[in-house]
């Protein structure tokens, strides 16, 4: 799940950089582009924000998956230790 969010963040960042480049680059074929430049800047900022949120969600998902995995490993280890202690107590 976190890999998917990282890929989403990377693609949104790429689109953000492209829209930022479009807002800065002058285009003589489209005289109305400076008026639309503010729209491209806003789109760039929104895409950048969505990219950062997606990356944060990926990091948090990865952290929670790691915590869950370690918790399961600890529970298995404790269960094995308890079973070993139980078998030792029965032998005595």
Q: How many CA atoms lie within 13 A of 60 on its CB side?
A: 6
- Structural domain boundaries of the chain? 2-91
As a whole number of angstroms, the distance between CA 42 and CA 35 comes to 12
Cα separation of 21 and 69, whole Å?
42
> Which portions of the chain are predicted below pLDDT 70?
27-36, 91-92
Q: Which two tokens stand for residue 55?
A: 């990356």
pLDDT at residue number 34: 55
Report phi then psi at 51, rounded to 5: -65, -45
pLDDT, residue 27, reads: 66
- Indicate the average pLDDT of the chain: 86
Task: Provide the pLDDT for residue 17.
Answer: 93
Q: How far is it, in rounded angstroms, from Cα 41 to Cα 78?
A: 55
């Amino acid at each position: 799940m976190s890999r998917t969010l990282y890929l989403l963040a990377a693609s949104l960042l790429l689109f953000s950089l492209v829209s930022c480049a479009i807002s800065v680059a002058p285009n003589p074929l489209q005289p109305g582009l400076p008026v639309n430049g503010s729209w491209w800047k806003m789109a760039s900022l929104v895409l950048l924000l969505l990219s950062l949120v997606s990356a944060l969600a990926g990091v948090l998902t990865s952290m929670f998956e790691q915590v869950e995995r370690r918790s399961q490993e600890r529970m298995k280890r404790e269960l094995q230790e308890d079973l070993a202690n139980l078998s030792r107590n029965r032998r005595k």
